[in-house]
């Protein structure tokens, strides 16, 4: 099979986005627009794609890293000019190249594979991906000859009224024989309304040389939808969300209301898990089997085990193991590690801490920079006081300890195995194993004190 590489045009500013971020870096469901394209290309070629950068090139390079190689377009003079800027890379290889813009996030690997296969298997110099749409305004039109074969592509601004009536449009996605492409690039001129070098002109040039070209029509026009402003960004997000939801449901996940559930494309969820509406699940999150995610939680970059129940809580960059319940209204901040069979209850905040198997932190508590062992009971209103105004300190609570209600643990401190802390205590020193610690003043009562105070007033 002939060698296949890819060229992604990502140098434009995207003025209609009205943003300080390059257009191709705008995100949809956890990935940038250009990353969707790169992921599709990974399924059809082992070659690193060439990405043509220009506007805020360093920002694009920082985001994409080493997964691609780069060409630089200093001035944006049209699509053919962008391809010329990558000539050095293309000239090093034989075979074929797919060329597409970095703002077409809905394109799929299957469609690219079929288009490239049509070009390579049948000896075409160029194949352009097309579609028919009801409102073709703004798109280049596909002009066919009397035999129905591709003759040329006319840009919308250069089209006459007859050509504007054509509903078959250019997607901006091509597959070229690299040698034929490079030979034809220098023949492209900027003699057009926009004064730019159109890559579309090469179709006519190749045909006039007697080379074979073809328009390959896709049946799904949504795949070639470009994103030029925030409205189109939202429309693309709708399509991608449906793909994500359908994919998860076909894998055995129950999504109660897909239209009101927000799951990134990077999330993995196990079968027999139920996701209620109002949930936002983001980043590199994995959720195991048999979980129930009740409404209105946010889970980001976290690992959730099997048979976990989460209610109206926030979980960020944390790990929750099997058979644990979280919430309602719990907040697991980054680097929280919650063991098996744990109960994290309402209005509990955990930060940079581990909680061992079978422990319970049922309500109204703060656990920060702490190591809580297994089988520990943390009563209502317990606060781990981890900050002295200058630095954070660690608290350790060993297995089977019991922390009574309204206890303050002043770090650094260690509560050893099986120890009991009486309610209302403020603990500043280590507590030995199986000991009872009481750190509160003895209650005293002054009869009639209030009446005397009021009388003095």
Count of other CB atoms within 10 angstroms of residue 390: 5
Q: What separation in angstroms does the CA of 46 have from each of 42, 89, 102, 225, 424? A: 6, 16, 19, 26, 64
Q: What separation in angstroms does the CA of 131 have from each of 40, 113, 199? A: 19, 16, 18
Q: Where in the chain is the domain with CATH 3.90.550.10?
A: 4-224
Annotated catalytic residue within 89, 363, 393, 429: 363
Place of tokens 């003895």: 442
Read off the pLDDT of residues 17-29 as tens digits, 9 standing for 90 and up: 999 999 999 999 9
Q: What separation in angstroms does the CA of 273 have from each of 96, 138, 286? A: 44, 44, 12
- Low-confidence stretches of the chain (pLDDT < 70) are 1-2
Contact 305/71 with Cβ under 8 angstroms? no
Q: Give catalytic status of residue 429 as yes or no.
A: no
How high is the pLDDT of residue 193? 80
Q: What separation in angstroms does the CA of 393 have from each of 112, 319, 372, 382, 432? A: 55, 22, 14, 17, 20
How high is the pLDDT of residue 1? 46
**Could you tell me the maximum CA-CA distance found in the chain, to the nearest angstrom?**
111
Antiparallel, parallel or unpaired: β 126-132 and 168-177:
antiparallel
Q: Which of 177, 173, 186 is nearest to 211 (CA)?
A: 177
Q: Which of 227, 263, 246 is nearest to 106 (CA)?
A: 227
User: Rounded to an integer, what distance in angstroms lies between the CA atom of residue 231 and that of residue 411?
Assistant: 51
Backbone angles phi, psi at 315, to 5 degrees: -130, 120
Contact 273/285 with Cβ under 8 angstroms? no
Tokens of 373: 């062992």
User: What's the pTM value of the predicted model, to 2 decimals?
Assistant: 0.91
- Beta-ladder partners of 415: 397, 431
User: Rounded to an integer, what distance in angstroms lies between the CA atom of residue 5 and that of residue 380?
Assistant: 61
How high is the pLDDT of residue 7? 98
Contact 272/288 with Cβ under 8 angstroms? no
Count of other CB atoms within 10 angstroms of residue 143: 18
Write out the E strands in 115-202.
Answer: 126-132, 141-144, 150-154, 168-177
CATH of domain 250-437: 2.160.10.10
171, with CB counted inside 10 A (0-12, 13-18, 19+), is: buried
Contacts of 453 (CB under 8 A, 6+ apart): none
Cα dihedral 299, 305, 311, 312 in deg (nearest 10): -10
How high is the pLDDT of residue 443? 86
How high is the pLDDT of residue 13? 87
Domain 4-224 has CATH 3.20.20.80: no
- Alpha carbon of residue 231 to chain centroid: 19
Q: Where in the chain is the domain with CATH 2.160.10.10?
A: 250-437
């Amino acid at each position: 099979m002939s060698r296949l590489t890819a060229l992604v045009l990502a140098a434009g500013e995207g003025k209609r986005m009205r943003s300080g971020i390059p257009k191709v870096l705008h995100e949809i469901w956890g990935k940038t627009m250009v990353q969707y394209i790169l992921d599709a290309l990974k399924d059809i070629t082992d070659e690193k794609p060439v990405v043509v950068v220009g506007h805020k090139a360093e920002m694009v390079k920082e985001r994409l890293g080493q997964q691609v190689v780069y060409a630089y377009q200093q001035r944006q003079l049209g699509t053919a000019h962008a391809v010329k800027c990558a000539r050095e890379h293309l000239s090093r290889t034989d075979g074929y190249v797919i060329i597409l813009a970095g703002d077409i996030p809905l394109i799929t690997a299957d469609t690219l594979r079929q288009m490239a296969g049509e070009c390579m298997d049948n000896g075409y110099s160029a194949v352009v991906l097309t579609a028919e749409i009801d409102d073709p305004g703004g798109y280049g039109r596909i002009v066919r000859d009397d035999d129905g074969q591709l003759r040329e592509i006319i840009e919308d601004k250069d089209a006459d009224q007859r050509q504007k009536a054509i509903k078959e449009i250019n997607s901006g996605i091509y597959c070229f024989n690299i040698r034929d492409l490079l030979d034809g690039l220098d023949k492209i001129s900027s003699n057009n309304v926009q004064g730019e070098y159109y890559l579309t002109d090469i179709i006519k040039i190749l045909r006039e040389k007697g080379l074979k070209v073809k328009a390959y029509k896709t049946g799904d026009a949504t795949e070639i939808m470009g994103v030029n402003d925030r409205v189109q960004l939202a429309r693309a997000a709708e399509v991608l969300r449906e793909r994500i939801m359908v994919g998860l449901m076909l894998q055995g996940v129950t999504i109660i209301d897909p239209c009101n559930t927000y799951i990134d494309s990077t999330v993995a969820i196990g079968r027999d898990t139920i996701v209620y509406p109002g949930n936002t699940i983001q980043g590199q999150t994995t959720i195991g089997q048999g979980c129930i995610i009740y409404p209105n939680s946010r889970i980001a970059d976290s690992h959730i085990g099997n048979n976990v129940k989460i209610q109206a809580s926030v979980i960020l960059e944390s790990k929750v193991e099997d058979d644990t319940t979280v919430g309602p209204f719990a907040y697991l901040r980054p680097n929280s590690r919650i063991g098996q069979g744990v109960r994290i209850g309402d209005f509990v905040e955990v930060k940079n801490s581990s909680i061992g198997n079978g422990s319970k932190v049922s309500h109204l508590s703060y656990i920060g920079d702490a190591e809580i062992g297994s089988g520990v009971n943390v009563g209502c209103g317990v606060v781990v006081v981890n900050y002295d105004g200058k630095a954070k300190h660690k608290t350790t609570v060993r297995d089977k300890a019991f922390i009574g209600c309204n206890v303050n643990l002043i770090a650094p401190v260690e509560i050893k195995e099986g120890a009991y802390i009486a309610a209302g205590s403020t603990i500043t020193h280590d507590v030995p194993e199986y000991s009872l610690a009481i750190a509160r003043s003895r209650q005293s009562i002054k009869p009639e004190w209030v009446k005397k105070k009021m009388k003095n007033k």
